[in-house]
Amino acid sequence: MKSIELFAGIGGIALAAEWAGIETVAFCEREPFCQKILNKHWPDVPIFDDIKTLDKKALEERGIDVGAIELITGGFPCQPYSVAGKRKGTEDDRDLWPEMFRIIEEIRPTWVVGENVANFANMELDRTLFDLESIGYKGRAFVLPAAAVEAPHERMRTFIVSHSNSVRRNDRGNNRQERQIQGERHRNDKKNQPEWFGRLDRAREVRAVFPNTNVERKGENYNQQFTGFCEEHRGRWAVEPDVGRVAHGVSNRVDRIKGLGNAVVPQQIYPIFETIMKIERGEITC
The catalytic residues are: 78
- Smallest CA-to-CA distance from 216 within 199, 247, 237 is with 237
Which residues are CB-neighbours of 113 under 8 A, at least 6 positions away? 13, 71, 72, 73, 74, 159, 160, 161, 162, 269, 272, 273, 276
DSSP label of 207: H
Determine the Cα–Cα distance for residues 145 and 151; give it in Å rounded to an integer.
9
DSSP label of 40: H
Determine the Cα–Cα distance for residues 275 and 20; give it in Å rounded to an integer.
9
Amino acid letter, 102: R
Burial pattern 135-169, b for ≥16 Cβ within 10 A else e, equals: bbbebebbbbbbbbbebeeebbbbbbbbbbeeeeb
Please state, as a whole number, how many other Cβ atoms lie within 10 Å of the Cβ of residue 76: 23
3-state secondary structure of 15: helix
